[in-house]
Chains A and B, each alone.
Chain A
């Protein structure tokens, strides 16, 4: 079974602060996705990383995929209350299934 460990599990910060969420595995994934989920909604895809060492930026969000394609990080610069939510990483296998990390609940206080 491929497992993804996500840390931290909970994060509460003030508006304007920076933060990093980590997603680690002992397994190699063909790709890795980051999702954000708000209460009452399904997860919404933020980004997909495929190539080892890849860095993608989405406004104030920066995503990195480790060289060995086993780990990833999400960095948010100058967090805003609208960034509040559950952040999930998910590794995709060749069979097409996704394995999800435990999630990071982010609260950004105004």
Chain B
């Protein structure tokens, strides 16, 4: 398994501003992902964070809105840019220690945009 620390755990932000969420893992992991979970709903994959290169985004998500960094095998950041109330959601970091292992999740960041 992997222990994932996600910061901040929650934030209330003004529209038009940006928030960067950090994800720190206690061990090196092969794969890191960012998900969004809107209230009462399931998880939607935003992107795969690739070490040393640009993230791979899913349909409906773009780099300008959700820039992602992954400088090494234990750390990644997700920025939610130019926020609007529609961005209010829970953002979750997930890791897969190796390609054929289970995915583990951080506790999430609850974002409210006002």
Q: Show the binding face of A for B, using Cβ within 8 Å.
A: 6, 30-31, 33, 35, 40-45, 48, 88, 90, 92, 96-103, 105
Provide the bound-state CA to CA distance between A44 and B1, in Å. 11
- Whole-angstrom distance between the Cβ of B10 and the nearest chain A Cβ: 9
Q: How far is the CA of A62 from the CA of B4 in the complex (A)?
A: 27
Chain A nearest Cβ from B96, distance in angstroms: 5
A45 to B40 Cα, complex, angstroms: 19
Output the residue of B6, B40, B103 with the most chain A CB within 10 A.
B103
Q: Which of A31, A42, A103 contacts B106 (CB 8 A)?
A: A42
Contact (Cβ within 8 A) A96 B30? yes
Q: Does B73 contact A (CB under 8 A)?
A: no
A residues less than 8 Å from B104 (CB atoms):
45
What are 6 A-B interface contacts by the 8 Å CB criterion?
A30-B100, A33-B102, A42-B92, A42-B106, A100-B43, A103-B42
Quick one: given A97-B33, A102-B41, A102-B42, are A92 and B110 in contact (CB under 8 Å)?
Answer: no
- The verdict on B105 contacting chain A, using a C-beta distance below 8 Å, is yes
* Chain A residues with CB below 8 A from B43, complex form: 43, 88, 90, 100
Quick check: is B31 within 8 A (CB to CB) of the other chain?
yes
Task: Please report which residues of chain B, range 1-51, place their CB below 8 angstroms from some CB of chain A when the two chains form the complex.
Answer: 1, 4, 6, 30-31, 33, 40-45, 48
The reply to whether B42 and A48 form a contact with Cβ atoms under 8 Å apart is: no
Query: Nearest chain A CB to B38's CB is how many angstroms away?
Result: 11
Q: A42-B92, A97-B33, A97-B48 are in contact. Are A88 and B42 (CB under 8 A)?
A: yes
* B84 CB–A CB distance under 8 Å: no
Q: Are A33 and B103 in contact (CB under 8 A)?
A: yes
Query: From B98, which residue of chain A is reached at the shortest CB distance?
Result: A96
Given contacts A92-B103, A97-B48, A103-B41, contact A40 B110 (CB under 8 A): yes
